[in-house]
Structure 1
Amino acid sequence: MIFTVDQTVEAGNPENEVKLKMPDNNHKCDSQKPKSILAKTHMYFKEYCNSTSIHGFRYFAESRSLCERLLWLILVLFSLSACVYLIVQTYVKFQESPVIVSFATTNTPIYTIPFPAVTICPLSKARSFLFNFTEVRAKIERKKEISDNEKRYTKYMALLCGKGNNLFKNESTFTEDFFSGIDELKIPQEEFMLRCVFLDSLQSCQKMFHPIIADQGICYTSNMLDRKYIYNENVVLDKKYHFLNQSTLGWTVDKGYQTDTKGRDSNYPYRALLSGAENALQLTFHQNISNTDHYCVDDVQGFNVLIHPPHTLPRLNKQFFTVGFKQSVIASVRPNKMTTSDQVLQFDSSIRKCYFSTEKKLKYFKVYTPGNCELECLTEYTLKLCGCVSYYMPREEETLICGNANFSCIRKAEYYLKRNQSLEHEKEEENGHYSCDCKPLCSDVTYNTEISSSYMDMEGQIQAWFLIYNITGYEWSQYAKLTIFFEQDSFLTSERNELYSPIDFLANFGGLLGLFTGFSLLSAAEIIYFLTLRMCCNFRLYRSLFGKETENIA
């Protein structure tokens, strides 16, 4: 309040009286002009700077020299810039690497995982008394006449062996007769599997191994999931192949075995309780020497073998080892198991960089695996490029089977899909995007195999067996042996765990803000308060968002 003193002395009054005159509230000095919005905002900002807990801001409200204000402005801007930069780096790391893979603290027993599936492909594709590929090819080269049946078998064998496809340039597709033809020629299982022992117990090879169509023709697989657990209903598949007749399934790749019982007969796929050769799968092979075809097979005669998880389809052209005749091969298996914690489930698959087996839906497969995904992607691209698919690829009823004339197209499709270096591939990508997006499984079991082999001197032992059981003809056969077992009773499991949770990111975010600016949750509350509630109260009390103007004067 501003008071004025009136020193006028009234007449007749012996004492001088000092009178205080109250100012007129309705009177305004001519020198006081209404402040602009910019000025009011500036004064309100100075009021905030005097009150905030953020470091450095209070110096902006002081009436100091321009040099001092510039110094603090530079320091505050530098701190804010450094803070923002580090927060962005932390956020990028949180988005790109929120998951870490580490080893479990305890070992996992081998009976918690299945014994590996074993797929065996004979290198000899036909019985010689039915069809000899070498002899028929020699007739063709010498311009000799061959029968219709020989021509039929030759074009099928040319596709399996990868030789002589140029002789059938008009055979662009095959009918279902292709599978009938190779089935007629194949060496029956009982003619090359002599003895099967599993977990130190003699087993029937015909009950253990079942025929399957693979990328090396007709093969035989054991301990693999039945086709009804792998393929969707739209896939066309002959009942002769991949039919294991296993109505119950006690194991899944995500959850493992559903019961605690252990042993071979309790669950399927089968599992081993202990490691070592006494708990192995032992296979003894034999084959009549006359069935050897040196034109179809290059240098090694015997069997190609792939050890793989029960839920994956075998692709022996990608990975295999060979059990040659007169060899005893030992495969020592070291399993790898990957698990994923429940905390990782909250992340999107693009962040955690893996899929669960039922997360990504595939066109042909019920179970997602990287191998199934890659095979489906290759199948779709081959169908787009060639108009047909290879005989071992999953297909629908109306899809054609590629014949000899499309053999090179099949090879090119796989090359173009992987290398992405072809004009045809780039042209196809314009019409349809072929991004396979085949991430690893979040929970998976794989098997690493260490192979060793030695010369097999079984003639004396085989001769004794044949003499005891009064069997002849052993001298016309070749023999081989395969032994597969777990190397150890337990193994270390790998785990996907959460590296940065939202709480961790918030702690890093708040720590950086506090380190560089002194910012806290109360600082954020101050800003919100000055921008909302305080302005509303100012307007209610003073009819101005910025409060009473006289209070804002520094």
Structure 2
Amino acid sequence: MIFTVDQTVEAGNRENEVKLKMPDNNHKCNSQKPKRILAKTHMYFKEYCDSTTIHGFKYFAESRSLCERLLWLILVLFSLSACVYLIVQTYVKFQQSPVIVSFATTNTPIYTIPFPAVTICPLSKARSSLFNFTDVMAKNQRRKKMSDKEKRYAKYMSLLCGAGHIYFKDESTFTEDFFSGIDELKIPQRDFMFICIFLDSQESCQKLFHPIIADQGICYTFNMLDRKYIYNENVVLDKKYHFLNQSTLGWTVDKGYQTDRKGRDSNYPYRALLSGAENALKITLRQNVSNIDHYCVNDVQGFNVLIHPPHTLPRLKKQFFTVGFKQSVMVSVRPNEMTTSDQVLQFDSSIRKCYFSTEKKLKYFKVYTPGNCELECLTEYTLKRCGCVSYYMPREEGTLLCGNANDSCMREAEYSLKRKQSLEVEKEEENGHYSCDCKPLCSDVTYTTEISGSYWDFEDQIQAWFSVFKVPRNKWLQYSKLTIFFEQDSFLTSERNELYSPIDFLANFGGLLGLFTGFSLLSAAEIIYFLTLRMCCNFRLYRSLFGQETDNIA
């Protein structure tokens, strides 16, 4: 059969038209594949909803109206949102306040803690036979000539009496001669400590009380730890001061007493077995009226006293009470003890908001206390501002001792540091910024006092005791009496425990999930199972991740 050229072209065009009209099966298959995957995923999700134990999900698998399914979707989302919100609040509380302070369930006997340390500072700083600050200041105001010894003593005493920023401001630093000078002038301990009785047993006052350098000059302390248990080896101290030679220390602030022995003969520091005035520390004080220095003492004449824990340094400028002449002062002591469980140690100090005694290392002190930390911070700040430190501050070899010319600088440094701390402004240093960060001790012992006093004339009492004899009165001596005792035989201890342990947080977390959604560990196992093992098994059995093919999947 013979075709012409035109017929051949026409046949080719008709064939092309037929090809264009025929459907492209490959394209159709490619376009339906995502739909089939989406349909299989939907069926697989419905299968999960039928099987899961989480509340509300089964309604998503039912062939119900759109309105009903939207209602359950809103309810489930609301429940999940409330659950997440409460879990976040619980987590924040767990992070920010994991520690709670509560009272112990039983009372603690007083013999488990030390008898408080007692520091006494005579308000008169010098013997009048050697130096009278009032007379010297009168000479200075009248511009009378003073001897070299008077000038030397006046420089030292003006710093102790708080007049250094006004008079004798010609020396910016003092040498070690300052300590020998005030030691020469001090009133001997035997002259003002007359009778000492502890736990109904009379003792030598020189045996019970030891001299220390405090912020009010030379003071005398009872039941305080020896300096080797407080200061580091780099601190410079004169051997005359704060040297108790107590090698049988049996108590630490974290662990308490290491033995079961009770009473007067137990390891140092001393402790009382019972409460009341019969088991007290009683001190009869006296002073020669010729040693009264009105220029150095502003208010009441007598003795400043501070009751404090044995492991802390006394800061009498911050807190004290005064025992005046012809007064009998009774001090009732109530101890406060804070203990901390071992579980709290796992939290960071910024979270528990306290330090253990050996946790934060200090430059000058072996044991951390808030008072030691504050004193060290003040020392470092004063050294940076003034180039020297005050006489009562800890210092290393080579650190200069501030003289009268730097008295104003020291006052300004202390005021500035207090202001920075109150405003929570960090202290500037060459290598960055840091604050004093003097958090409370996690385990500590403190003492609350109740003070009462009355008029007391020692010589009238002596005359009554020895009425048969005529006891001559000594108009040059003034007497005072101080009695310190525990108020009760036991007290309630405060305990610092963890509020939320990891187990408690997990229980709260699971409880909230169970309350709002019915979620449990098995629910989590179901989700993991449907996303992993079940898919693998489906592929092995049906060559499909979503299970056996069904007719309703397009």
TM-score above 0.5: yes
- Give 2:509's aligned residue: 509
- Give 1:187's aligned residue: 187
Confirm whether residue 356 of structure 1 aligns to residue 320 of structure 2. Answer: no
Seen in structure 2, the aligned counterparts of structure 1 residues 172 and 155 have a Cα distance that, compared at 3 Å, is same
Question: How big is each residue's C-alpha offset from its partner over 1:247-287, in whole Å with a ceiling of 9 and x where there is no partner?
Answer: 11011111111111122122111111111111111111111
Separation in 2, partners of 1:552, 1:478:
111
TM-score by length of structure 2 reads 0.89
Does structure 1 conserve the Cα–Cα contact (< 8 Å) formed by 2:463 and 2:470?
no
Does structure 2 conserve the Cα–Cα contact (< 8 Å) formed by 1:377 and 1:434?
no
Seen in structure 2, the aligned counterparts of structure 1 residues 164 and 414 have a Cα distance that, compared at 3 Å, is closer
Q: Which runs of 4+ in 1 moved over 6 A?
A: 27-32, 463-473
SS of match in other structure, 2:75: helix
TM-score by length of structure 1 reads 0.89
- Give 2:457's aligned residue: 457
Structure 1: any 5+ residue segments left out of the alignment? Answer: 1-26
Return the offset for 1:550. Answer: 3.5
- Give 1:149's aligned residue: 149
SS of match in other structure, 2:166: helix
- Give 1:34's aligned residue: 33
Does structure 2 conserve the Cα–Cα contact (< 8 Å) formed by 1:462 and 1:474?
no
- Name the stretch that deviates more: 99-108 or 329-338: 99-108
Return the offset for 1:72. Answer: 1.9
Seen in structure 2, the aligned counterparts of structure 1 residues 66 and 295 have a Cα distance that, compared at 3 Å, is same
SS of match in other structure, 1:368: coil
Does structure 1 conserve the Cα–Cα contact (< 8 Å) formed by 2:131 and 2:185?
yes
Question: How big is each residue's C-alpha offset from its partner over 1:360-388, in whole Å with a ceiling of 9 and x where there is no partner?
Answer: 21111111111111111111222222222
Structure 2: any 5+ residue segments left out of the alignment? Answer: 1-24
Q: Counterparts in 2 of 1:289-328, with a 5 A limit?
A: 289-328=289-328
Return the offset for 1:515. Answer: 1.0
Does structure 2 conserve the Cα–Cα contact (< 8 Å) formed by 1:47 and 1:552?
no
- Give 1:99's aligned residue: 99
Seen in structure 2, the aligned counterparts of structure 1 residues 311 and 46 have a Cα distance that, compared at 3 Å, is same
The one-letter code sitting in structure 2 at the alignment partner of 1:35 is P
Q: Counterparts in 2 of 1:72-471, with a 5 A limit?
A: 72-420=72-420, 428=428, 432-462=432-462
- Give 1:16's aligned residue: none
- Give 2:21's aligned residue: none
Separation in 2, partners of 1:551, 1:144:
122
Question: How big is each residue's C-alpha offset from its partner over 1:284-314, in whole Å with a ceiling of 9 and x where there is no partner?
Answer: 1111111000011012000000111111111
Question: How big is each residue's C-alpha offset from its partner over 1:78-115, in whole Å with a ceiling of 9 and x where there is no partner?
Answer: 11110011111111222222222222222211111111
The one-letter code sitting in structure 1 at the alignment partner of 2:392 is Y
SS of match in other structure, 1:166: coil
Question: How big is each residue's C-alpha offset from its partner over 1:29-58, in whole Å with a ceiling of 9 and x where there is no partner?
Answer: 977942355555444433322322211223
Question: How big is each residue's C-alpha offset from its partner over 1:188-221, in whole Å with a ceiling of 9 and x where there is no partner?
Answer: 1011111111111111011111000111111000
Return the offset for 1:412. Answer: 2.0
- Name the stretch that deviates more: 349-358 or 529-538: 529-538
Return the offset for 1:466. Answer: 11
Separation in 2, partners of 1:182, 1:469:
41
Seen in structure 2, the aligned counterparts of structure 1 residues 469 and 291 have a Cα distance that, compared at 3 Å, is farther
Separation in 2, partners of 1:29, 1:402:
95
The one-letter code sitting in structure 2 at the alignment partner of 1:57 is F
Separation in 2, partners of 1:427, 1:268:
38
Identity over aligned pairs, percent: 85
> What is the aligned length?
527
Seen in structure 2, the aligned counterparts of structure 1 residues 159 and 63 have a Cα distance that, compared at 3 Å, is same
Separation in 1, partners of 2:194, 2:301:
17
The one-letter code sitting in structure 2 at the alignment partner of 1:479 is Y
SS of match in other structure, 1:101: strand
